[in-house]
């Protein structure tokens, strides 16, 4: 998700806490405190990175001659093709808790450009229903990545006793639109919602960041009741993501904290339950792409995000 371009309008920053270091957070996950407020009114839509297209063809469909990583083999992905409905929760510490995982984009979006270009109301304005997402230079798409991580997270969280629902499981022709993604979490009365993404920023931009909802009260959007709880959720996810994956926070947004606040994302603006986005890395950087295309690393990413959710739900 890119923050550059003519529509990017950074907001005044709050006083900063000291930048996060990996060593500190590995010892104290709660060290990820503070964030920088960004407002990009009219910018890219939810999960839309610097090269995430809302029209035309997918960001990448074929490996390029200068591919940065090999495309994962089928054995890298968990064999989890259950239908998109919550399984009966097992007994465990999260029994009775509902988690909604929102895998960003849809592998078939590029075949439905008219539908995903349709504008929807996000409270602060109108944005495209969805985008195609980005991809590595080798052609591994963000939509494939997010669904794979979502499956891994579902397995981990269900073992903790949670009831888990996905906003999409490769079971629909496109979307859902960003407003519907928010409604799915709201309707489920989710205790936590996480939207999984990977960024499409320039080469040399590395690291993950968690996006928190800013206070919005406009039209159909009122995030004020969920700002504090979403911040808590995001901080716990960021701390655990560092601890499990060893990845550093973004070097291009967030001032080293791994936390960014935005007011222009419909998936956050329209949520009535605690929700955050996570950009797990930059698909356009060769070093980050090598991690994102690794099944072993995606398992760590799923574990780190899930551990953050568990920490949040257990208090």
How many other β-carbons are positioned within 10 Å of the β-carbon of residue 76?
15
Distance CA 310, CA 236 (A): 9
pLDDT digits (tens, 9 = 90+) for 68-113: 444 444 334 444 433 444 555 568 999 999 999 999 999 999 999 9
The residue extents of the domains of the chain are 22-47+92-314
Class of domain 22-47+92-314: alpha beta
Q: Place 252 in a pLDDT band, splitting at 50, 70 and 90.
A: very high
Name the pairing type of β-strands 119-121 and 9-10.
unpaired
pLDDT digits (tens, 9 = 90+) for 12-59: 334 344 444 333 334 334 433 333 333 333 334 576 444 455 444 444
pLDDT at 1 over 50: no
Residue with tokens 């605690």: 274
Residue 83 among the catalytic residues: no
User: How many C-alpha atoms does 154 have within 13 Å on its Cβ side?
Assistant: 28
**Mean pLDDT for the stretch of residues 195-204:** 96
pLDDT digits (tens, 9 = 90+) for 218-231: 999 999 999 999 99
DSSP sequence for 234-255: HHHHHHHHHHHH-PPBPSSSST
The rounded percent of the chain whose pLDDT value lies above 70 is 72
Which of 128, 142, 180, 279 does the annotation list as catalytic? 279
pTM: predicted TM-score of the whole model, two decimal places: 0.78
pLDDT at 245 over 70: yes
Alpha carbon distances (Å) from 73 to 22, 28, 63, 213, 298? 30, 35, 14, 36, 13
Distance CA 232, CA 30 (A): 9
Structure-model confidence comparison of residues 29 and 156, the more confident one: 156
**Mean pLDDT for the stretch of residues 106-125:** 96
């Amino acid at each position: 998700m890119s923050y550059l371009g003519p529509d990017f309008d950074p907001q005044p920053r709050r006083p900063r806490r000291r930048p996060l270091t990996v060593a500190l957070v590995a010892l104290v996950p709660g060290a990820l405190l503070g964030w920088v407020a960004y407002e990009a009114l009219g910018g890219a839509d939810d999960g839309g990175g610097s090269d995430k297209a809302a029209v035309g063809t997918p960001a990448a469909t074929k490996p390029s001659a200068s591919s940065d990583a090999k495309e994962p083999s089928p054995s890298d992905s968990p064999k989890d093709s259950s239908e998109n409905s919550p399984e009966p929760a097992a007994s465990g510490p999260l029994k009775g808790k509902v988690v909604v995982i929102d895998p960003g984009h849809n592998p078939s979006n590029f075949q439905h450009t008219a539908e995903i270009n349709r504008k929807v109301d996000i409270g602060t304005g109108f944005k495209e229903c969805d985008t195609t997402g980005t991809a590595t230079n080798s052609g591994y798409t963000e939509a494939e990545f997010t669904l794979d991580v979502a499956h891994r997270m579902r397995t981990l969280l269900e073992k903790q006793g949670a009831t888990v629902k996905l906003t999409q499981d490769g079971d629909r022709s496109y979307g859902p639109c960003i407003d519907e993604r928010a409604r799915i979490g709201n309707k489920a009365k989710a205790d936590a919602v996480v939207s999984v993404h990977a960024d499409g920023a320039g080469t040399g931009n590395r690291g993950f960041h968690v996006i928190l909802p800013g206070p919005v009260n406009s039209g159909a959007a009122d995030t004020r009741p969920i700002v504090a709880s979403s911040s808590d959720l995001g901080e716990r996810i960021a701390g655990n993501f560092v601890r499990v994956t060893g990845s550093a926070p973004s070097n291009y947004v967030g001032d080293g904290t791994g936390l960014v606040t935005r007011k222009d994302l419909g998936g956050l603006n329209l949520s009535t339950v605690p929700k955050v986005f996570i950009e797990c890395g930059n698909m356009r950087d060769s070093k980050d792409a090598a991690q994102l295309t690794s099944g072993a690393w995606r398992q760590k990413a799923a574990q780190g995000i899930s551990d953050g959710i568990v920490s949040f739900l257990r208090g």
